[in-house]
Amino acid sequence: MINRVVLTGRLTKDVEVRYTQSGVAVGSFNLAVQRTFKDANGERESDFINAVIWRKAAENFANFTGKGALVAIEGRLQTRNYENNAGQRVYVTEVAVDNFSLLESKAESEHRRQQNGASNNQQRPQQGSNNPFQDQQGVDILDDDMPF
């Protein structure tokens, strides 16, 4: 069976990096990918694809990209689910990224970062904190939930 996804697009916002209880980095982001065909008005529509990236690759991806960055990602499609605060089952389909490529020059990237304000969304767990996600709604990642 084959489950491979290769996408090229632009980040819709900066990568959001968080850390599990054991300190493993996990980055989540949304990639805008233009369709190859035009609609009735002659314009190209875009699909907005959720993606997640793990460990050192997540930190590197967040450090070297930002909102609007042109990137290529390679990975597999995965579906997960959780129960939200209202008790409803929520299903999420996303690309689990294995590899990425930066598709613009460092100068272009720096210019865009200056225009966007160069924010860094990384949130490291504080000492003594048992759950770095405790203030986040809908996020409950335990080490037992990890795919590795």
Q: Is residue 78 part of a domain?
A: yes
Q: What percent of the chain has pLDDT over 90?
A: 60
Residue for token digits 């294995």? 98
pLDDT in tens, 85-94: 999 999 999 9
* pLDDT (mean) for 39-60: 93
Q: Is residue 136 part of a domain?
A: no
Res. 105 pLDDT band, cuts 50 70 90: confident
Q: Is residue 34 part of a domain?
A: yes
Q: How far apart are CA 112 and CA 70, in angstroms?
A: 11
Q: Is residue 10 part of a domain?
A: yes
Q: Is residue 62 part of a domain?
A: yes
Per the structure, the complete domain to which residue 56 belongs is given by 5-123
Closest listed residue to residue 123, CA positions, set 52, 62, 51: 62
Three-point CA angle 6, 10, 12, nearest 5°: 120
Domain count, the chain: 1
Q: Is residue 30 part of a domain?
A: yes
Query: Tokens for 40?
Result: 């009735």
Res. 57 pLDDT band, cuts 50 70 90: very high
Q: Is residue 61 part of a domain?
A: yes
CATH number for position 35: 2.40.50.140
The pTM for the full model equals: 0.70
pLDDT at 128: 44
Return the CA Rg of the chain. Answer: 17
Residue 120: pLDDT above 70? no
